[in-house]
Structure 1
Amino acid sequence: MSDPKALNVEGEMKTQDVHHRLEVSHISWFHVKAILVAGVGFFTDAYDLCIISIIKPILGILYYPQFNGKLPQAADLWLTGVALAGTLLGQVFFGILGDKLGRKTVYLFTLLLMITATIGQALSAQPLHGVLYLDYVWRIIVGLGCVPAVLTIYLRNKLPETPRFTADVIKDTAKAEQDMDYVTQNVGRDWKQEAVATPMKQQDRITWRKLHHYLTYPDILHNRNIWVLIGTCTTWFLLDIAFYSQILFLPNVLTAINYNPSIKLPNAAWYKANPEQYPDSMFVGRPANVTITIYLGNTPKCVGACAVAVFEKSYKTAAGNAIVAMMGTVPGYWFTIGLVDFMGRVTIQTMGFALMTILLIILASAYNHIVHVSKWLFIVLYALTFFFANFGPNTTTFITPVELFNTKFRSTLHGFSAASGKAGAIVGAFAIGKLFLDTKISLQTTLAILAATNFVGLICTMFIPETKHLPLDVASSQTQSMFAKLLAKRGIRQVDPESVALVADAHGGTNGDVGDGAKPYSEPAAGEPAAAHDSNGLGSV
C-alpha cells in the first residue's frame, strides 16, 4: 500500500512543477487568446458602464423635450448609477463563485448574462407612440456593446481552466500539467497513464473558515493579507469615486465650460402653457393619452434649425468623450503597458494619484482664469486627469489584487476589491453626481472634492506591496507594503498564514510551530536569485 504522506509530497512536487513552468513559459498563442478573451470582458464592461454618458443627452431630448432635453436630477442620477449597483453585487457574487467553480465556468456565465441584459436594454419597451428615429439611435448604441462578447464565447470555451486553479484548488495535477502543455504548446506525454499515477489530495476549495483564517491568523495586526486587502479595497474605492463621477458626468462639465451649450426645444415653450400634459419625472406614470398628445398632437415639431441643434448637441457629446479618450484614457493605458514592469505597480499608482490631485487642484483654484483663456486648455488639463488615472491607479488597482493573494482566495478577494471600487463608483454617481448637477454648487467646489479624494487614495497606497519582477507565488505571500515595513521597524512582523502552513508542512509541524519563525520576504541583493535569498524556503519553485 502506498504511503499517503509520500503521495502527498509527490503531488506537491508536481504542483510546484506546474508553478515553475508557468513562471518560465514564453508567450504563446494561448497567451494571445487569453489576452483577447480578458480584453473583450473589460471592453464590454467599460462600454456598458460608460456609454450612458453619451446616451443620457439623447434620452433627455427624446423623453424630456419640455425641459429642453435636460433630464430631471433624479432620473439623471438613477440612469447613471443603477448599473454600478449591479456590478457591485456581481463582483462579490461571481468572485466567490470563481473560487468555488473555477474561472472558466463563471466567466462564460457572466458573458452570457451580460449579452442577455444588453439585448434586453436595447429591445426594452418604450412608452412613446409614433416613429421616433432618435429612439433607434440610443438602442443601437447600447446593443453594440454585446457584439464583442458574443464573438468571444467560442474562444473562451476552447481555453482550459487556469492551471494554477486546477493544481492548487482542484488538486488535479495531471490535468494541470495537461493544460500546461496547451499553454506551452508541448505534446508527447501520456496523460491518462500519469493521471492514474498522480496522487490526488482532497480538493482545497475556499470555505468561509479558510478565508477567515487567511485574513486573521495569528491576529489582525500581525496578518499580512487583511492589510493588503484594506489597501486594494480603499484605493479602488477612492479611485472610482473620482474616475466614474468625472467620466459619467463629462457632458455636464462640457456644458459648464460652454463647449457643448444647452439647446432650446420648441416643446419647452409649449409645456409652459400646457404643464398638465407632461409628467415631471420619468418615474411618474403617464396618462394613456399623454404620449399621443405630445408626439402626434398639436405640440411643435423639432425640425429645421431645431433638428440641427439636436444633432450638434449629440455630436459634441460624443466628440467630447472621444477627445478625452484619445488624449487621456487610451494613451494612459499604453504608457502603463510599456512601463509597469519597469517602474512598478506601486510607483505608478502613487504617481497617478499624486498628479491627479495636483491637476484637479489647479483646475479648481484657477477655473475661471483657465476657462477665460481657453476652454480647450481646460479640456486638455481635464483629459490629463484621465491620462494619469489610466497611467496610474485605474490600471494598477486591477493588477494588484490578482498578484497579492493566494490562488485559493484570489477570485474572491479580487471580487471584494472590485466591488469596493464599484461602491466608490456608486458614491461618485449619486453623491458627486448630485454636485455636478446642482446649479447652486460650483464646478470648482466639485473638482476640489475630487482632488481631496485622490489625495486620500495616495495615502492608502501605503498598504499595497510592490510586486515588480516577482514570481506570483512570492508576490502573493511574502511581499511587504510600506505599512508592513513601518510595523517591522517597531518589532511587529506580519505573516501570511499560507506561507506559514507550507513551512510547517516542510518541517512536519503545525502553523503554530513556526509562526514566529517565518520571516517575511525582502528584496534580494543585486544579482542574487530570489530562490537563494528566500530565507523561508518558499520560493516560486
Structure 2
Amino acid sequence: MSLRLFDRLDSTKTQYYHFKAVIVAGMGLFTDAYHLFSIAPIMRLLGHVYYKSNDHQFQPAVESSMLAIALLGTAIGQLIFGRLGDLAGRRRLYGLALILMMVGSIGCGLSMGTTRGCVLASLGFFRFVLGVGIGGDYPLSATIMSEYANKRLRGAFMAAVFAMQGFGILASSIVTMAVCKIFGRIYPLSQKDPTPKQADIAWRLILMLGVVPAMITFYWRMMMPETARYTALVEKNILQATWDMERVLDMSHSQITEGHTLQPSQSSYPLFSKQFLQHHGRNLLACSTAWFLLDIVFYSNALFQSKIYKTYLRDEDPSKNVTAFEAAFEVASLQAIVACYAMIPGYIAAIFLIDCIGRLRIQAVGFIFMAIVYFCIGVPYDKYWKHHINIPFMILYGLTFFFANCGPNTTTFILPAELFPARFRTTCHGIAGAAGKAGAIIGAVGFLMASQDDGQNGYEKALGMRITLIILGGICVVGMVLTSLFTKETKGTSLEENE
C-alpha cells in the first residue's frame, strides 16, 4: 500500500487545527489534574465536616482508599479505552471518555447520604467513575495528537497537550481558594463551631466546577474526524482518510496526493503474538516500567504536598482554632505556589526542549536530577529539615517537580504514542499508562503511611521521612538506568518509520 498522505501529514506546516487539537485534547488532561489534585484540600474540608471528634483528621486507611480508588479507575480506563481505541477508532471513544468524566465530576459533588459512611462511599464510587473516564482520555488524547502532528514538532504538540495538566492543578487550587474565601466571608463563623454546615456545600461545589472545561470542549470533540492514520492503516479506507485531511488541514486533494511515497508495514500479526513481542515487547516493557517508576515518585509527592509542608499549616496544630475554609485554603495555596514556580515552568521547558534534545535524553536527565535533589533533601533530613521546613527546602522540593515535568513525566506520556503501530497504538499506551497508575497507587498510599504520626518520637518520624525521600531518589536512579532499554529515539521520525 503506497501512501503519500502520511508524508503530507509529516511535512505540513503548523496550522490552526494543530493548536485547536492541543486545546481539545488537553482539556481531558486539565480535567484529570483538576480532580486528582483537588483531593488534598477537599480532604481537609471533609475532615472538618465529618471528623470533628478526631482533630479533623481522616484515618490513614480512609484517606488512602479515597486516593487509590480514583487511580484504580484511571488504570482500568486506560486498559479498556486503550484497547477499544484500536478496535473501534479513536474518535468514537473520545466523547464517551469525556461523558464519564462529566458524570463523575457531577456525581462527586452530589455524593448522597446524611452519614459519614454513606457520603464517603458515594464519593468513592463516583471518583472511580471519574477515574475510568480520565484513564480513557490518556491513550486517546496522546494518540490523536501524535497522529495529527507533523514530525518536526510532534513532541512539542504532545508536550503542550500534557502541559494542560499543570494548568489543571493550578486551576483546582485557585477555585478552591476562591470558594473558601467567598464562603468564609458570606457565612460568619462561631468560635464554638469553626465548621459551618455550608462547608459541606463548599467541597461539593469545588468538585462540580471541574466539569466546566469538559463541557466546553465536548462539542469540538464530537466534531473531530477520525485520524487519517487510523482510517488509512487500520480501516484501509484511503479515500476517507484523504477527505478527512481536507476537512481539518489547509490542503487540497491534489496537495495531499503529491509528495514522496511511504510504505507502511503490511504485517498482520496479532497483539501479544510472538512477532509482536519480538518487534515491540522491549519497547512496551520499557515504556511501562519507566511510567511505573515515575508515577511512584510523582504522585506520592504531588498528592501529599501538604504533608511535606505541614510546618506551614496551622491545621496541623490541635491547639489552634482553624476553620474548615482556612484549612483548605492553606493547602490549596501551597499547591498553587508549587504549580507556579516549579510544575508549570517544567511543562513549558519540555515543550521547547523535547524536539531539540530528544525524548530519551530528556527523560534520563530528568530522572537523574530528580534523584540528586531527593538525596540532597533526604540524606540530611533529620539534621537540617525535620524541625524547620524552610524556604531552601521548599525550593529544592519544588525542583523535583520541575525536573519530572521537564523529563520523564512528559516523555512517558509521549513515547508510547510514537513507538507502536497504528493498530496497537492506543492499546500499548493504555498498558503503559495503567502500569504508571499502579505505581501511583503504591506511591500515594505508601507515602501517606510513611508520613503518618503513629505516636512515635520526633526522631523516628523524621527517620521515616528521611528513608522515604532516599527511596524516591533511588527509584529515580533505576528509572534513569532503565531508560536505556528504549530501542529507538523517536525525535524527528515518522510514526510509520517507527513501525
**What stretches of structure 2 of length at least 5 have no aligned partner?**
117-194, 258-265
2:484 alignment partner in structure 1: 462
Distance 1:310 1:23 in 2: 53
Task: Choose the corresponding residue for 1:106, options 93, 98, 108.
Answer: 93
1:311 CA displacement: 3.7
Q: What does 1:151-300 correspond to in 2, within 5 Å? A: 151-187=216-252, 210-213=270-273, 216-217=274-275, 223-255=278-310, 258-263=311-316
Distance 1:135 1:387 in 2: 35
Alignment partner of 1:345 is 2:373: no
Q: Cα deviations across residues 191-219 of structure 1 (Å, max 9, x unaligned)?
A: 9xx9xxxxxxxxx999xx61123xx328x
Distance 1:445 1:127 in 2: 41
Tell me how many residue pairs correspond in the alignment: 404
1:438 CA displacement: 5.0
2:370 alignment partner in structure 1: 356
Q: Are the counterparts in 1 of residues 242 and 253 from structure 2 also a CA contact under 8 Å?
A: no
Distance 2:96 2:215 in 1: 12
Task: Choose the corresponding residue for 2:471, options 449, 456, 469.
Answer: 449
Q: Are the counterparts in 2 of residues 263 and 309 from structure 1 also a CA contact under 8 Å?
A: no
TM-score (norm 2): 0.77
Distance 2:316 2:373 in 1: 30
Q: Cα deviations across residues 416-448 of structure 1 (Å, max 9, x unaligned)?
A: 011111111111122232212254552111111
Task: Choose the corresponding residue for 1:378, options 385, 393, 402.
Answer: 393
Task: Choose the corresponding residue for 1:436, options 446, 451, 461.
Answer: 451
Q: Cα deviations across residues 292-314 of structure 1 (Å, max 9, x unaligned)?
A: xxxxxxxxxxxxx83x5544322
Alignment partner of 1:62 is 2:62: no
2:204 alignment partner in structure 1: 139
Q: Are the counterparts in 1 of residues 228 and 241 from structure 2 also a CA contact under 8 Å?
A: yes
2:494 alignment partner in structure 1: 471
Q: Are the counterparts in 1 of residues 86 and 425 from structure 2 also a CA contact under 8 Å?
A: yes
Q: Are the counterparts in 2 of residues 81 and 426 from structure 1 also a CA contact under 8 Å?
A: yes
2:142 alignment partner in structure 1: none
1:183 CA displacement: 3.0
1:19 CA displacement: 0.9
Q: Cα deviations across residues 108-167 of structure 1 (Å, max 9, x unaligned)?
A: 100001101110110111425997111111111111111111111101111110100000
Residue type at the aligned position of 1:252 = K
Q: Cα deviations across residues 41-89 of structure 1 (Å, max 9, x unaligned)?
A: 1111121212112211111111111111111111111111110000011
Helix, strand or coil for the counterpart of 1:212?
Answer: coil
**What stretches of structure 1 of length at least 5 have no aligned partner?**
1-11, 195-203, 267-304, 478-541
1:412 alignment partner in structure 2: 427
Residue type at the aligned position of 1:425 = A
Helix, strand or coil for the counterpart of 1:230?
Answer: helix
Q: Are the counterparts in 1 of residues 199 and 324 from structure 2 also a CA contact under 8 Å?
A: no
1:252 CA displacement: 1.2
Distance 1:309 1:112 in 2: 35
Q: Cα deviations across residues 355-386 of structure 1 (Å, max 9, x unaligned)?
A: 11110111111224443676111111111000
Task: Choose the corresponding residue for 1:24, options 4, 8, 11.
Answer: 11
Identity over aligned pairs, percent? 38
Distance 1:261 1:81 in 2: 27
2:402 alignment partner in structure 1: 387
Residue type at the aligned position of 1:446 = T
Residue type at the aligned position of 1:75 = V
Distance 1:172 1:235 in 2: 35
Q: What does 1:323-342 correspond to in 2, within 5 Å? A: 323-342=337-356
Helix, strand or coil for the counterpart of 1:217?
Answer: helix
Residue type at the aligned position of 1:138 = W
Residue type at the aligned position of 2:357 = M
Residue type at the aligned position of 1:466 = E
Task: Choose the corresponding residue for 2:106, options 119, 126, 133.
Answer: 119
Distance 1:228 1:437 in 2: 38
Q: Cα deviations across residues 449-495 of structure 1 (Å, max 9, x unaligned)?
A: 11111111111111123111112222x23xxxxxxxxxxxxxxxxxx
1:91 alignment partner in structure 2: 78
Distance change >3 Å, CA 330–CA 149, structure 1 → 2 = same
Residue type at the aligned position of 1:135 = D
2:168 alignment partner in structure 1: none
Distance change >3 Å, CA 449–CA 184, structure 1 → 2 = same
TM-score (norm 1): 0.71
Helix, strand or coil for the counterpart of 2:309?
Answer: helix
Q: Are the counterparts in 1 of residues 306 and 331 from structure 2 also a CA contact under 8 Å?
A: yes
Residue type at the aligned position of 2:449 = K
Helix, strand or coil for the counterpart of 1:447?
Answer: helix
Helix, strand or coil for the counterpart of 1:437?
Answer: coil
Helix, strand or coil for the counterpart of 1:51?
Answer: helix
1:224 CA displacement: 3.5
Helix, strand or coil for the counterpart of 2:491?
Answer: coil
Residue type at the aligned position of 1:468 = K
Distance 1:158 1:309 in 2: 46
Q: Cα deviations across residues 471-521 of structure 1 (Å, max 9, x unaligned)?
A: 2222x23xxxxxxxxxxxxxxxxxxxxxxxxxxxxxxxxxxxxxxxxxxxx
1:187 CA displacement: 4.3
Distance 1:316 1:367 in 2: 24
Residue type at the aligned position of 1:451 = G
1:263 CA displacement: 4.6
Greater shift, 141-150 or 227-236, is seen at 141-150
Distance 1:436 1:369 in 2: 17
Distance 2:356 2:484 in 1: 19
More helix per residue: 1 or 2? Answer: 2
